[in-house]
Chain A
Amino acid sequence: MLESLLGEELYSDAVKIFKPDKIAEIRLRIGRKLAVKDVFSNRFGQRTVTEADILSIIKRATKNSLYAFQEELCKGYLPYSGGIRIGVAGSGVVEKDRLITYKNFTSLTIRIPHEILGAADKLSALLNPFENLLVVSPPFGGKTTLLRDIARILSNDYDTLVLDERGEFGMDGAVFGERIDFIAGTPKTLAAEGAIRAMSPEVMVLDELYPPKDGGVLCEMARSGIKLAAGIHSDSVEGALKRFPELNELFSSFVLLSNKPRAGSIKSVVRLP
């Protein structure tokens, strides 16, 4: 999967640094060395990234169809099969205070998802019986990996619907329970109403909440009696609750992740009375 995205030369440079299954992130910046990360460290390859490298990755990621990825591009990323997500940087094109697209791409950040079965085993007390749970994590903290495993465990006992806005959960070969459903590639705000009414889930799993935008949908889900497992970017539970007080009413358990000593480290678990 990664080889088909990177092309032969970049891929062989990357796998000289880490084994393919250990690579968690690859960064490409025009005129700079290829940077590769595993969960512990960040190293550089031999090859200097060119503009042609960036363009061919974009072509492969979009299947030669940039026009079909407008919404994603506006949000600063491109999805790729297998749950791979490519963050893009370049010159933004703004019209009437709205970012409409990017051009002259200069950097890409390729995030490679990993399934860690049992990542959520330590949280079993929070999962049965299950009450609304929020995973708080800084970037690269393992939030999606943990949520994927939570979805796997919950989907054995509950009708679980994953709102996979960025196509990261349903990576190839990922294991889930029998009672799992996915809505992929659709913003939470657009998918939620139909999902609540038509799919009648008992649990919904959502990644990367942004309460100013998703707050209404979250309240609607909670009002409908649906249990939530969600993730949000923050370096502390207190910080997240201070910025978005509405989360306090919605969630009763919080798991704080850290990327130190390695991505996915559980720093603390908070249960509200």
Chain B
Amino acid sequence: MIKLVLMAVALLICVFSGYAVEAYFKSRSAVINDFLAFIRYAKRETEFLKTDAEQLMKNFGCASDFSKILESALAALREGKAPVCAYDKLKKNVNDEISAFFKGLTECDYYSKDALFGYSVSVAEELKKQSDKELKQKGELIKKLMFLLGVGLVVLLI
């Protein structure tokens, strides 16, 4: 009976860990996807309506944790500080790129904004490719391996 319970617990822990790792990569990828969507949204809005940066950050709706990044950037702006992205699930270079975009958006003039958007879109697309690749290669692979590990442990316990 104890063996049976141990097997079930081991399998559950492994499966849960696999899903947790995958969720970590998924949320990272979702943040980068929303970052790219935000740049495109900002590009449209600034071109036609000259919407200001604070309004852009306030109005952009997204389901991922990018909304938290925008909230903290907006709060920093309102306090007169530089908007910085320091999201713990993102790699340092991604945080830096997002921070650089915020900085650029709040400092560029009408003529330099096109260069900013052009550069930022290409960077974000590259980051998106990498994160999608990592989601497949690492997230999904680790989830499968953890499931196999759980099954292996069950076999060993038998």
Where the two chains meet, the residues of A that have a C-beta atom closer than 8 Å to any C-beta of B are 7, 56, 59-60, 62-70, 73, 100-101, 103
A56, A64, A100: which contacts B106 (Cβ < 8 A)? A64
- Provide 22 A-B residue pairs closer than 8 Å at the C-beta atoms, listed in order of the A residue: A7-B80, A56-B80, A63-B54, A64-B52, A64-B54, A64-B77, A65-B51, A65-B52, A65-B53, A65-B105, A66-B109, A66-B110, A67-B50, A67-B109, A67-B112, A68-B50, A68-B51, A68-B110, A70-B110, A70-B111, A73-B109, A103-B109
Contact A101 B54 (CB under 8 A): no
Task: Output the residue of A59, A67, A69 with the most chain B CB within 10 A.
Answer: A67
Contact B51 A101 (CB under 8 A): no
Q: Which residues of A contact B113 (CB under 8 A)?
A: 67
Contact B53 A63 (CB under 8 A): yes
A56, A63, A67: which contacts B108 (Cβ < 8 A)? A67
List the 7 closest pairs (A to B, CB-CB), nearest first.
A70-B110, A65-B52, A64-B106, A68-B50, A63-B52, A67-B113, A65-B53
Contact B106 A101 (CB under 8 A): no
B53, B77, B80, B110: which contacts A101 (Cβ < 8 A)? B110
Q: Which residues of B contact A70 (CB under 8 A)?
A: 109-111
Contact B111 A65 (CB under 8 A): no
Contact A65 B106 (CB under 8 A): yes
Q: Which residues of B contact A56 (CB under 8 A)?
A: 80
Q: Nearest Cβ distance between residue B118 and chain A, in whole angstroms?
A: 14
Interchain CA distance A18-B106 in the complex, whole Å: 33
Q: Nearest Cβ distance between residue B56 and chain A, in whole angstroms?
A: 8
Contact B110 A65 (CB under 8 A): no
Residues 91 to 126 of chain B near chain A (Cβ within 8 Å): 105-113
Interchain CA distance A67-B56 in the complex, whole Å: 13
Q: B46 an interface residue at 8 Å Cβ cutoff? A: yes
Contact B111 A101 (CB under 8 A): yes
Interchain CA distance A7-B79 in the complex, whole Å: 11
Interchain CA distance A51-B14 in the complex, whole Å: 59
Residue of B nearest to A62 (CB): B52
Residue of B nearest to A7 (CB): B80
Interchain CA distance A65-B45 in the complex, whole Å: 12
Q: Which residues of A contact B80 (CB under 8 A)?
A: 7, 56, 59-60
Contact B111 A68 (CB under 8 A): no
Q: Nearest Cβ distance between residue A68 and chain B, in whole angstroms?
A: 4
Interchain CA distance A56-B110 in the complex, whole Å: 18
Interchain CA distance A70-B111 in the complex, whole Å: 9
Task: Output the residue of A56, A63, A68, A101 with the most chain B CB within 10 A.
Answer: A68
Interchain CA distance A63-B56 in the complex, whole Å: 11
Residue of B nearest to A102 (CB): B109
Task: Output the residue of B50, B51, B54, B108 with the most chain A CB within 10 A.
Answer: B50
A59-B106 contact given A64-B77, A101-B111, CB 8 Å threshold: yes
Residues 115 to 152 of chain B near chain A (Cβ within 8 Å): none
Interchain CA distance A234-B113 in the complex, whole Å: 39
Known contacts A65-B52, A66-B110; 15 additional CB pairs below 8 A are: A62-B52, A63-B53, A63-B55, A64-B54, A64-B77, A65-B50, A65-B54, A65-B106, A67-B113, A69-B50, A70-B111, A73-B109, A101-B109, A101-B110, A103-B109
B46, B77, B112: which contacts A68 (Cβ < 8 A)? B46
Contact B54 A66 (CB under 8 A): no
Residue of A nearest to B49 (CB): A68
